[in-house]
Amino acid sequence: MKVSGDWLDNPATQSVMGMLTGAGYHALAVGGCVRNALLGVPVADVDIATDALPETVSRLAETAGLKAVPTGIAHGTVTVVAGGEGFEVTTFRHDEESFGRHARVSFGASLQQDAARRDFTMNALYAQADGTLIDPLGGLPDLQARRLRFVGDPQARITEDYLRILRFFRFHAQYGDPEQGLDAEALAACAEHSAMLETLSRERVTAELKKLLDAPDPAPAIAAMAQSGVLLPVLPGAQPQALPVLVHLEGDKPGGWLRRLAVLTTEVETLRLSKAETRDFGKVRDAFSGIDSPAALGWRLGWRLGCDALLGRAALLETPPAPGWQAEVMRGAQADFPLKPRDLMPMLLGPDLGRALARAQEHWLAQDLKPDRAQLLALLGLA
């Protein structure tokens, strides 16, 4: 069986794999790129596994005129930059101390061990530069059945790295069969160790949660997390009920993680969001409690956040927005408030000016953005 796609045909991918195979090493695309290519969904980045040691990867890259950045030397990862793209090249690895990360073993043995340290069978699929698939753990039938299965014993794998609990729900949301439900034994192991999620870095948790919430329908995975006690340590105070309603209202236009997160919770202190993300999240949450029209939301928040606020509020109220709401949010997003501060000067100055502008603005929004400049000046007694 072969995999294919622009990501593999890409001369940059071929040059990175070729610099390794040309020197007699193995080079295999692995993980997300192979999995997604088999599923026919977009490939984000290409990871490469090799039996060459990190210092050899760096040396071969330099000889080939490519830049090599030691981004994760402790994990055996060198990022090779080709055609403006970064390729993470990771040396076959075995996670047992006794083995040592510098050990050079025969290819067959080390590929098997590299596969064994990965989290799920569908993430342990490899492809050669010509697309030939290598499936050391039977991940392909699992992928075809959209069955998320831990590599090895779920208990053992979870205690090695508790982030795998979240990854279990994340990959199920992205690639699992929603009809099938989650593997009972793995689910029980996730539930048993859920308290350990608090020990993980906020960055790692946030990255997984965003990917989960970006899935077309994250609601079943979030419901399973709530039921098994996995949601609580990640998002204390989360209320999962409105999420399926939101996903239903979104229809064939799935929203992003921020909108989904906003209907789940008010508290995001357990996450690591950027300043801009925290501000946007707050704006959307604040809009839920108001009674702004779709056009007013569009004006206050802009098109994207206006849609997030409108649909999120509708989900929490369990009432679909009125037909044509998109055009209304857009009308608001494109509208210009007709008064400028200088229109009120010098009659009003300082805090008085600010208060008058705010009053005129609220009137204009409540009146469907219709009053013009003269009407607003009259409202303020300045006509």
> If binding means CB under 6 A, how many residues of this protein chain bind ligand ATP?
13
| Residue 7 structure tokens | 């990501």
Strand partners, 85: 82
Q: Which entry of ligand ATP, Mg ion, none binds 306, CB below 5 to 8 A by partner kind? A: none
Q: Report what 123 binds from ligand ATP, Mg ion, none; CB cut-off 5-8 Å by kind.
A: ligand ATP
User: How far apart are the C-alpha atoms of 280 and 268, rounded to whole Å?
Assistant: 12
Rounded to 10°, the helix 275-288/294-317 angle is 80
| Chosen from ligand ATP, Mg ion, none, partner binding at 209 (C-beta under 5 to 8 Å by type) | none
Cβ–Cβ under 8 Å, residues 137 and 151: yes
Sheet with 126-127, side-by-side order of all strands: 67-72, 77-82, 85-91, 47-50, 27-30, 126-127, 133-134
Residues numbered 153 to 212 that lie near ligand ATP (CB under 6 A) are 161, 163-164, 167, 211
Residue 215 site contact among Mg ion, ligand ATP, none (CB < 5 to 8 Å, cut-off depends on kind): none
| Least distance CB 216 / Mg ion (angstroms) | 18
Residue 75 or residue 340: which is nearer to ligand ATP going by CB?
75
Nearer to ligand ATP, 28 or 356 (CB): 28
Assess contact for 46 and 12: CB atoms under 8 A.
no
> Which residue from 110, 127, 111, 116 is spatially nearest to 36, judged by alpha carbons?
127
Instruction: Restricting to residues 41-80, name those near ligand ATP by CB under 6 A.
Output: 44, 47
Would residue 25 be called left, alpha or beta, if left means φ above 0 and alpha means ψ between -120 and 50 degrees? beta
123 is a contact residue toward ligand ATP (CB under 6 A): yes
Write down the least CB distance from residue 322 to ligand ATP, Å.
Answer: 37
d(CA 120, CA 161): 13
Which one of residues 118, 147, 210, 259 is an interface residue with ligand ATP (CB under 6 A)?
Answer: 118
**Judged by CB, which is closer to Mg ion: 51, or 119?**
119
Q: Tell me the helix, strand and coil percentages in the chain, rounded to 5.
A: 55, 10, 35
* Interface segment toward ligand ATP; rule CB under 6 A; list 59-67, 117-125, 255-263, 362-370: 117-125
Cα dist from 218 to 123, 176, 212, 213, 261, whole Å:
20, 11, 6, 5, 11
Task: List binders of ligand ATP among 203-222 (CB under 6 A).
Answer: 211
Question: Which option in Mg ion, ligand ATP, none does residue 26 bind, with CB closer than 5 to 8 A by kind?
Answer: none
Number of helical (H) and strand (E) elements in the chain, helices listed first: 19, 7
Point out which residues bind Mg ion (CB under 5 A): 32
**Cβ nearer to Mg ion, comparing 32 with 76:** 32
User: Out of 8, 52, 68, 119, which residue is the one contacting ligand ATP (CB under 6 A)?
Assistant: 119
Q: Choose among ligand ATP, Mg ion, none what residue 118 binds, the Cβ cut-off being 5 to 8 Å by kind.
A: ligand ATP
Q: Give CA–CA dist 173/171, Å, rounded.
A: 5
- What single string gives the DSSP state of each residue in 328-346? HHHHHHH---S--GGGGTT
The nearer residue to ligand ATP, 27 or 356, going by C-beta atoms, is 27
Considering only the stretches 66-74, 102-110, 119-127, 178-186, report the one whose residues sit in contact with ligand ATP under the rule CB under 6 A: 119-127
Using Cβ positions, the residue closest to ligand ATP within the complex turns out to be 32
Residue 161 binds: one of ligand ATP, Mg ion, none (C-beta under 5 to 8 A by kind): ligand ATP
Contacting residues toward ligand ATP, per CB under 6 A: 31-32, 44, 47, 118-119, 123-124, 161, 163-164, 167, 211
